[in-house]
Each structure stands twice: as C-alpha cells, then as structure tokens.
Amino acid sequence: MQFVSKGFLLFFFSSLILGQTAYPPPTNLVTIPTAGTLVRGSFAMDMRVQKNGGFSSGLKVGITDRFQFGMSFGASNLIGDDSLKWYPHPEVNLKYQLIDETMSMPGIAVGLNSQGFGAYDDILERYETKAYGIYASASKNWTTPLGNMGLHAGVNQNFLEIKDHDEDQNLFMGIDLEFNPELSLLVEYNAALNENDNEAKDIALNNGGYLNAAVRWTFVERLHIEMDFNNLLFNEDKVDYFNRELKIIYIEYF
C-alpha cells in the first residue's frame, strides 16, 4: 500500500507542474478504465473481435454526469468451425466520478468491472486476462498542439476470479495522445500482480504484466474503429506472437 500511495503522490505532483487545462478524458483506453464517465443521456455500444473467433459486446449508459452503468456478454469461438462457448453469464460495469478534473488536479473515479478478456476457463472460473474488478482510477489531461494528451493510472482488486488463489492488488497506467481530431494513439500497462502466484501463473498469458497499444480512428462522428495490439511483452513459452483485436465503439445521445 505504501508503494501505491507514493505512486499517486507522484501522479498528483506531476499534474501540478504540467497541468494546463481540463479536458474530458475517454472512459477507457485499450482495456484499463480511466476517470472519465459518459455524460447524462448518452450511451456507448462496443464490440470487440478477439482471437480464435472470440467476440464480446457491451452497452454503457450515462445515468448522470458522474455515474454510468453497463452490461457486457460474449463468447469464444463465435467465428470459425470450433464449438461455440458462451461466457457463463453477463458481466457488469459501474463507474462513479468522485472528483472532477481541474487545471491542477486529476479527476478520480471508482468503479466495478467484472468483464475479463479472452476465453473463459470453467475449471479456474476466470478469463485469460482477469477483469479489473473493483478499482480507483485517476486521469489528467492537457491540450497539446496536436490535440488532447491524457495520463491515467489506478489500482484494482479482483474479488471474483480468485479460484487460482491469487487475490493481490494490481496497478495499471496508460496514456492517450491525439494526432488530429480523427486519430489517437493509446498505450497502457497492466502490471498483472494478481496473475503471478502458483496456479495463476500456469494459466496467465504473461506473468510480467500486459503492455497494450491501439490506434483509434474516429471514422465518422461518434463512431470509433480501433485496432488493438495486446500483450506486446508476450511470453514466448505460452504464445507465439502478440494478440491483435478489432474494437468498434459507437456513442449516441437520447
């Protein structure tokens, strides 16, 4: 916990030095949650095409300007000639923004996300990459000559996928950078500290954490097409190459 406290103090201190203006951050990077939430009266639909014909989709709704609620569901082998394997149940996504972002301080949000990534293991009752579970995230954004740049960091604990006997707290961080109003680069790191003990180590794709990157293209207004490059620090004993996924995000207002 002392390491977490020092990390957040460093994050806040850098915000005091570099902060220039507040900018609404994205609600997620590649996988990690940010402190941003959907505004009241808006909803976002996302579809993720994963490896081995996997597919997941989710719907999030902005209940207020601070609180969003969502559900997601998916399957492995949805595309292909192998047997279809649905996820065991729908997953939930909740987020509440505690503190607004200002010129000198990051925004802070707390939430719950039970949706993991990849195939679901029925024996250990977990996804290939664990969900973030309960989390707290902080985000600070700046306006650059190119567009928005955001830094994001947080801590999480998964209390659901614990049959592998690894219940450690975890850390994550990331950055998003706009090159122009249509094109953004996303980079994130999930330390995966809850995937490196005993049984967890056997199923985890990478015991050294997950480095993910993505290029997000705003094809038309409110429609984002994203190419994800996951597990760039892949373990050659477990996978042959990093994982490529396609994600489509559509945001609308009602």
The reported pLDDT for the residue numbered 202 is: 53
Question: How many Cα atoms occupy the beta-carbon half-sphere of 120 within 13 Å?
Answer: 21
Considering the entire predicted model, what is its pTM? 0.83
pLDDT 10s per residue in the chain (254 long)?
454 455 544 444 444 344 443 345 689 999 999 999 999 999 999 999 988 889 999 999 999 999 999 999 999 888 877 788 999 999 999 999 999 999 889 999 999 999 999 889 888 899 989 999 999 999 999 988 888 899 999 999 999 998 888 888 999 999 999 998 899 999 999 998 888 765 545 555 556 789 999 999 988 878 999 999 998 886 666 666 788 999 999 999 88
**Tokens matching residue 117:** 């990534």
The reported pLDDT for the residue numbered 22 is: 39
Identify the sign of the CA torsion 188, 165, 1, 131. Answer: positive
For the chain, domain boundaries: 2-253
> Which amino acid does the sequence have at 196?
N
Give the span between the Cα atoms of 196 and 168, in whole angstroms: 9
- Secondary structure of the chain in the HEC alphabet? CHHHHHHHHHHHHHHHHHCCCCCCCCCECCCCECCCCCCCCEEEEEEEECHHHCEEEEEEEECCCCEEEEEEEEEECCCCCCCCEECCCCEEEEEEEEECCCCCCCEEEEEEECCCEEEEECCCCEEEECCCEEEEEEEEEEECCCCEEEEEEEEEECCCCCCCCCCCCEEEEEEEEECCCCEEEEEEEECCCCCCCHHHHHHCCCCCCEEEEEEEEEEECCEEEEEEEECCCCCCCCCCCCEEEEEEEEEEEC
Taking domain 2-253, whether its CATH number is 2.40.160.40 is answered by: yes
The reported pLDDT for the residue numbered 206 is: 58
The reported pLDDT for the residue numbered 21 is: 39
